């Protein structure tokens, strides 16, 4: 057994910066976009020997959800392109419309003799686990944001609860005494979401031990309309800090915060915005750095399948203004003393003095 995301302007700038052609194994995203769709029982040819054609660049694929406004995905794509410029490989980006598309697309990439297939996101984990075991010697495989059983898949997961704890402490500092309702809008209710919710609740309780929480789930990764509706409902129930944790839907929470004057935070990258003072921080989850790390390992060291789990101590998880600096102003409620207290908590997590690794199951919390 193996051991182990103005906002619209930012997205526009991202695509401007990352423009360029991208090879892909399919004409259109989704299940139907598996290129050269073939008999799934046909065994793919083994990759050409490294010395057979020294001039041929490696083919490296990232298989992920449809990017939309998901910074989690957008940053992985940026990392792949930057690494391609550095190492000279052919980058292939395959966006999947739904979970069923992952298996078709991964299988097509194997059949096309792709050298390394990176699946970005837990939703593709089952498909990767299956194909990596079916064709163990036909490609190298990696998974970001989850782990699987296949021994030949390199997995990198995260301790998101650590960054969420810091956001919870920030949330606790942003609201007045007596305001005990806190909210959050998530994609779904599952094990991954539980890490975010658990850390957030624990952080809030450091300053508001009697806090109550309202959670809603949009059920998709790019639904700002529903996310905004849920945020407004939570505000009407008394929440004055509502954590945005719904991927591309976060922009809907930000719009609601600006309209209703409640505080919020983003996720994955620095989404603070001088034009929206209610976004007071962001939980950092460095998927761009993760992709670049994997590719550096692939091209410069001996490739291994050892799993890794990253958090604050690795510099991959954190919170804006606490573990990661920002060019945007710090809200006046986050005084020097408040920031120092939260930074100390981050240090305690980093050193192990504050242990958030041993989480209770959701049903036992």
Closest CA to 322 of 335, 304, 339: 339
Mean pLDDT for the stretch of residues 306-313:
97
The reply to whether 356 and 272 lie within a common domain is yes
CA pseudo-torsion sign 11, 222, 289, 113: negative
The reply to whether 216 and 303 lie within a common domain is no
What is the predicted pLDDT for the residue at 6?
Answer: 38
Q: 361 CB contacts (<8 Å, ≥6 apart)?
A: none
Mean pLDDT for the stretch of residues 67-81:
92
d(CA 365, CA 363): 6
Report the CATH number that the domain containing residue 187 is assigned in CATH: 3.40.50.2300
Q: Indicate whether 336 belongs to any domain.
A: yes
The reply to whether 135 and 176 lie within a common domain is no
The reply to whether 211 and 321 lie within a common domain is yes
What is the predicted pLDDT for the residue at 272?
Answer: 97
Containing structural domain, residue 73 = 7-158+287-313
pLDDT at 286 over 80: yes
End-to-end CA distance of the chain: 28
Mean pLDDT for the stretch of residues 168-180:
96
C-alpha separations of 206 from 122, 126, 202, 347 in Å = 31, 37, 7, 16
Our CA angle for 160, 161, 164, nearest 5°, is: 90
> Strands 317-319, 279-285: parallel, antiparallel or unpaired by DSSP?
antiparallel
The reply to whether 154 and 293 lie within a common domain is yes
pLDDT at 289 over 90: yes
The reply to whether 37 and 122 lie within a common domain is yes
What is the predicted pLDDT for the residue at 44?
Answer: 44
Contact at 8 Å (CB) between 251 and 69? yes
d(CA 7, CA 10): 5
Q: Indicate whether 218 belongs to any domain.
A: yes
- The lowest-confidence range among 38-52, 140-154, 169-183, 311-325 is 38-52
What is the predicted pLDDT for the residue at 70?
Answer: 86
Q: Indicate whether 38 belongs to any domain.
A: yes
Q: What is the pTM of this model?
A: 0.84
The reply to whether 337 and 232 lie within a common domain is yes
C-alpha separations of 229 from 243, 250, 251, 258, 339 in Å = 14, 12, 12, 14, 31
What is the predicted pLDDT for the residue at 191?
Answer: 84
Q: Indicate whether 219 belongs to any domain.
A: yes
Mean pLDDT for the stretch of residues 325-343:
97
Structure tokens at 96: 């999947």
The reply to whether 172 and 138 lie within a common domain is no
pLDDT at 358 over 60: yes
What is the predicted pLDDT for the residue at 54?
Answer: 59
Residue 259 main-chain phi, psi, to 5 deg: -75, -35
Please list, residue by residue across 272-291, b when 16 or more beta carbons sit within 10 angstroms of its beta carbon and e when fewer do: bbeebbbbbbbbbbbbbbbb
Structure tokens at 326: 């920002």
The 3-state secondary structure of 199-268 reads: HHHHHHHCCCCCCEEEEEECCCCCCHHHHHHHHHHHHHCCCCEEEEECHHHHHHHHHHHHHHCCEEEEEE
- The lowest-confidence range among 52-61, 191-200, 310-319 is 52-61
Contact at 8 Å (CB) between 124 and 92? no
Q: Indicate whether 49 belongs to any domain.
A: yes
Closest CA to 320 of 278, 285, 275: 285
More reliable by pLDDT, 2 or 304: 304
Place of tokens 């793919």: 44
Closest CA to 122 of 69, 73, 185, 186: 73
Closest CA to 34 of 91, 110, 86: 110
The reply to whether 196 and 298 lie within a common domain is no
The reply to whether 171 and 277 lie within a common domain is yes
User: How many domains would you assign to the chain?
Assistant: 2
What is the predicted pLDDT for the residue at 15?
Answer: 36
pLDDT at 338 over 90: yes
Q: Indicate whether 270 belongs to any domain.
A: yes
Kindly report, residue by residue over 219-243, the tens digit of the pLDDT.
Answer: 998 899 999 999 999 999 999 999 9
The reply to whether 182 and 127 lie within a common domain is no
Structure tokens at 223: 């639904």
More reliable by pLDDT, 149 or 35: 149
Q: Indicate whether 2 belongs to any domain.
A: no
Q: Indicate whether 266 belongs to any domain.
A: yes
What is the predicted pLDDT for the residue at 192?
Answer: 85
More reliable by pLDDT, 262 or 29: 262
More reliable by pLDDT, 32 or 129: 129
| Average pLDDT across the chain, whole number | 88
Mean pLDDT for the stretch of residues 178-192:
93
What is the predicted pLDDT for the residue at 69?
Answer: 76
What is the predicted pLDDT for the residue at 98?
Answer: 87
What is the predicted pLDDT for the residue at 27?
Answer: 33
Kindly report, residue by residue over 104-124, the tens digit of the pLDDT.
Answer: 999 999 999 999 999 999 999
pLDDT at 285 over 70: yes
d(CA 144, CA 156): 5
Mean pLDDT for the stretch of residues 204-226:
96
The reply to whether 198 and 270 lie within a common domain is yes
What is the predicted pLDDT for the residue at 3?
Answer: 38
Share of the chain above pLDDT 90, in %: 80
């Amino acid at each position: 057994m193996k051991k182990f995301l103005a906002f619209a302007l930012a997205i526009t700038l991202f695509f401007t910066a990352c423009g360029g052609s991208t090879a892909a194994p399919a004409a259109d995203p989704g299940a139907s976009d598996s290129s050269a769709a073939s008999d799934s029982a046909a065994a793919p040819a083994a990759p050409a020997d490294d010395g057979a054609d020294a001039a041929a660049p490696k083919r490296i694929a990232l298989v992920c959800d449809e990017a939309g406004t998901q910074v989690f995905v957008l940053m992985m794509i940026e990392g792949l392109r930057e690494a391609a410029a550095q190492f000279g490989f052919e980058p292939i980006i395959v966006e999947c419309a739904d979970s069923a598309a992952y298996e078709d697309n991964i299988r097509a990439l194997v059949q096309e003799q792709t050298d390394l297939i990176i699946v970005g996101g837990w939703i593709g984990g089952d498909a990767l686990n299956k194909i990596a075991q079916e064709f163990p010697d036909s490609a190298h495989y990696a998974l970001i944001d989850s782990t699987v059983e296949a021994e030949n898949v390199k997995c990198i997961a995260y301790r998101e609860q650590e960054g969420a704890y810091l956001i919870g402490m920030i949330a606790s500092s942003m609201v007045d005494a007596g305001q005990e309702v806190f909210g959050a809008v998530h994609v779904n209710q599952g094990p991954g979401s539980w890490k975010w919710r658990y850390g957030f609740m624990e952080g809030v309780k450091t300053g508001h031990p009697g806090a109550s929480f309202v959670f809603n789930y949009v059920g998709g990764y790019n639904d700002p309309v529903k996310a905004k509706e849920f945020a407004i409902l939570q505000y009407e129930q008394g929440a004055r800090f509502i954590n945005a944790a719904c991927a591309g839907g976060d922009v809907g929470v930000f719009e609601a915060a600006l309209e209703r004057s409640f505080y919020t935070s983003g996720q994955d990258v620095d989404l603070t915005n001088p034009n929206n003072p209610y976004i007071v921080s962001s939980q950092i989850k460095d998927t761009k750095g993760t992709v670049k790390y994997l590719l550096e390992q692939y091209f410069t060291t001996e490739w291994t399948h050892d799993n890794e789990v990253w958090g604050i101590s690795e510099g991959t998880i954190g919170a804006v203004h606490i573990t990661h600096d920002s060019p945007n102003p710090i809200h006046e409620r986050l005084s020097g003393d408040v920031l120092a207290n939260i930074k100390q908590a981050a240090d305690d997590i980093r050193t192990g003095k504050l242990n958030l690794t041993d989480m209770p199951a959701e049903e036992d919390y």
